[in-house]
Amino acid sequence: MGHAEAVKEMMKCDGLLLVQNDTDPARKCTPGKLYEYLACEKPILSVCNSPSDLATRLNEWGLPFCDHNDEEAAYEMLRQITSREGRKIIDASPFERRALTETLSSLLNKLIAD
């Protein structure tokens, strides 16, 4: 399945599952898939190491996640995203290539001006 077709399938889903490897190197990574999921504007079920870069991002945005071995947190996360008040959608537009390029361009222009 190609990427475009995969995105179409993601858009049909009620929610999306993001599972981070349970390894030390994974703690230092934020998967690119997270940003694709944000663009789909669907609830995200995230299972990740805590602490980790991914957990930090999810906390900053108020999105639920659970640790690999925390069954109670997994249940609570499922409860949150299946209730209307627990669904939180994040605006993904700041992470689009055009917006990121504009931010980088602005920073480079400031460096040149100084």
Could you tell me the residue ranges of all domains in the chain?
A: 3-113
What is the topology classification, in CATH, of domain 3-113?
A: Rossmann fold (3.40.50)
Look up the pTM and report it. Answer: 0.75
Is residue 29 very low, low, confident or very high in pLDDT (cuts 50, 70, 90)?
A: very high
pLDDT at 114 over 80: no
List beta partners, residue 17. 45
DSSP tag of 29? -
pLDDT at 62 over 80: yes
Question: 20 CB contacts (<8 Å, ≥6 apart)?
Answer: 26, 29, 31, 46, 47, 48, 49, 52, 54
Tens digit of pLDDT for each residue in 63-100?
889 999 999 999 988 888 787 665 667 777 777 778 88
Per the rule left: phi > 0, alpha: psi between -120 and 50, beta: everything else, 62 is left
Virtual torsion, Cα 69, 70, 76, 82, nearest 10 deg: 0
